[in-house]
Amino acid sequence: MDGLQYYGYKEEKNHTREAFPYNVYPCTIPLDFPDVPLHWHDELEIIAVKRGGGEISVDLVKRQVMAGDIVLILPGQLHAITCGGEGNARERLRRMEYENIIFRRCLLAGPGTPEEISRALSPFLFPDESGAGRRRIPTFVTGDLPVRQKMFSLIEETDVLCDRRPAGWQLMVQANLLRFFYLLLQNLPDESEEEETLPAGSLLRLRKVTEYAGSHLTEKISIAQMAELTGFSQTHFIRFFRRCTGLHFTEWMNRYRLSMAARLLLISDAPVTEVAAQTGFGNLSYFNRTFRARYGMTPRDYRRCNR
């Protein structure tokens, strides 16, 4: 797995192959990385939990998930993954093994697709065009839905196809994806069961903030810059951001930098000083101190223990 696949909030990295835009990444938290911070991308993503459990946030709706659960991420949705619970790395005894399936919209529909099929798939492919459509999609497929096992079996069947690659395997992968979304459409929740989420305008503003923060990681980012970006006064922006995330922007940004630093420590041989600089920590002593407060050990110890 490419450990930098989540580097930055709006992921510019091309996850998928041009020839057949469907990729599978096996992941384990906290062994591969401590968490996956809030980010978004233009591809669809399916998260299938294999073992253990954790917490996944989609458009700021948080749910506990366990083995057998499935989470659907639509294009543009903000999402984050942790193995659950606060505390440092030594205290986070929970572990979650899961599969990231990332693919492009063209595998479901494209030019020449019959209008009826395009209309049926539209809520999955273009969720921003209909806030109501976004809320109607059952993002979390958990034990409450009897269809969960059928959908999980489809994922496992598709994994075998991707491993063996018999003649025409791509046809069956595409067919299984369409079957997956057909099952979702048959199990849309009642309006009374829909998850409450932020208004579409607030989510779009938050996406702007996370995109800017991720692409300016090494720079100092001020509240004034973020307020201007979102069209708020500084006071209004601080309230808005705390209401969305539960954190002051400065604290949130600091956690993100630490998460990126932890990942770089595991996937690169760069000196600790370089890792600190690449993640926006100009002062090495401050970096060491805040890293230890977050993960319970120094950056050097974290690299040695987790490798």
Residues 220-242: tens digit of each pLDDT = 999 999 999 999 999 999 999 99
Classified as helix, coil or strand, 100 is: strand
In whole angstroms, give the CA distance from residue 145 to residue 268: 41
Least confident stretch, 10-24, 136-150, 235-249:
10-24
Compute the radius of gyration of the chain from its Cα atoms: 20
∠ CA 70-139-207, rounded to 5°: 120
In whole angstroms, give the CA distance from residue 125 to residue 115: 14
- From 1, 168, 215, select the one nearest 101 (Cα to Cα): 1
255-266, pLDDT tens digit by residue? 999 999 998 998
Element (H, E) at 53: strand 44-58
With 0-12 / 13-18 / 19 or more C-beta atoms within 10 angstroms meaning exposed / middle / buried, residue 183 is: middle
pLDDT at position 136, please? 58
pLDDT at position 17, please? 61
Conformation bin of residue 75: beta by default, left when phi > 0, alpha when psi is -120 to 50: beta
Strands 70-73 and 96-103: unpaired
Cβ atoms within 10 Å, residue 176: 16
Specify the CATH number of the domain 22-193.
2.60.120.10
Looking at the chain, the domain(s) classified CATH 1.10.10.60 span 216-306
CATH architecture of 216-306: Orthogonal Bundle (1.10)
154-177, pLDDT tens digit by residue? 999 999 999 999 999 999 999 999
39-70, pLDDT tens digit by residue? 999 999 999 999 999 999 999 999 999 999 99
pLDDT at position 301, please? 94
What pTM was computed for the model? 0.84
| Region 185-193 average pLDDT | 67
More confident call, 143 vs 160? 160
Looking at the chain, the domain(s) classified CATH 2.60.120.10 span 22-193
